[in-house]
Amino acid sequence: MTENEAISLLAACRPLAAKLAAEGFEYKLTPEERATLDGYRRVREAGLANIDRVRRQAGLFQFDLVMLSTTLSNLEQQAFDID
């Protein structure tokens, strides 16, 4: 993944990050928001999410990455929870 691809995927996360900040972690994601979050996962797995230059060019703050990472972790945990 190139930095430009990462910037594009991260920029697409801005509305979701804002919604998570406003609504909290209990917010139910739409299928489109899950797809957006998957883009964030791909950027993170490529090791580009925490490069300040990439994050800034995407228009995200460090807090936004925390919100996205926590939401992704919560979803991954729910997938493995056995009730």
- Tell me how many degrees the CA angle 44-45-46 measures, rounded to the nearest 5: 90
What is residue 80's predicted lDDT score, i.e. its pLDDT? 66
pTM for this one?
0.87
Q: How confident is the model at residue 76, as a pLDDT?
A: 82
- The series of mean pLDDT values per 10 residues for the chain, 83 residues long, is 96 96 88 96 93 95 94 82 56
Q: How far is CA 46 from CA 11, 25, 30, 63, in A?
A: 16, 25, 24, 20
Q: What is the pLDDT of residue 1?
A: 92
Per-residue tokens: 4: 């430009």
Q: Given this model, what pLDDT does residue 82 score?
A: 55
pLDDT for 42: 96
